[in-house]
Amino acid sequence: MTVCRKAGLYLVYAAAALVSAIAFTPLVIPSGVIEPWLFGMPRTMWAGIVVTITLVFLASLAAKLSPTDAEDPEDAGRSEESRA
């Protein structure tokens, strides 16, 4: 795995941790407030939807950046049968 991909993967991890932490702040879950409404749903529900979509996007990005079996230098000399 190249240094650039590894750094990108760590940035994705950090972004996921940050989004997860922000999800429990008063920015997303205000205390005793259900206003404003948007398309018939409260702001808290919309914020939850945005957080979920963001985490799904980050997970797919992490899957693209993660190393494959062919890129693993430890497995370079071994056959398929000996890997299992």
Taking only the tens place, the pLDDT of each residue in 33-75 is 767 777 888 877 888 899 999 999 999 999 998 877 665 555 4
Alpha carbon 29 to its chain centroid, in Å, reads: 20
For residues 68 and 64, give the distance between their C-alpha atoms in angstroms, rounded to a whole number: 9
The amino acid sitting at 28 is V
Judging by beta carbons within 10 Å of its beta carbon (0-12, 13-18, 19+), is residue 63 exposed, middle or buried? exposed
Predicted local distance difference test score (pLDDT) of residue 72: 56
Task: Name which residue leads in pLDDT, 57 or 29.
Answer: 57
Examine the pLDDT at 30 and tell me if it is beyond 60. yes
54: tokens are 């963001």
Predicted local distance difference test score (pLDDT) of residue 70: 61
pLDDT category at 12 given cuts 50, 70, 90 is very high
Global model pTM greater than 0.75: no
Predicted local distance difference test score (pLDDT) of residue 38: 74
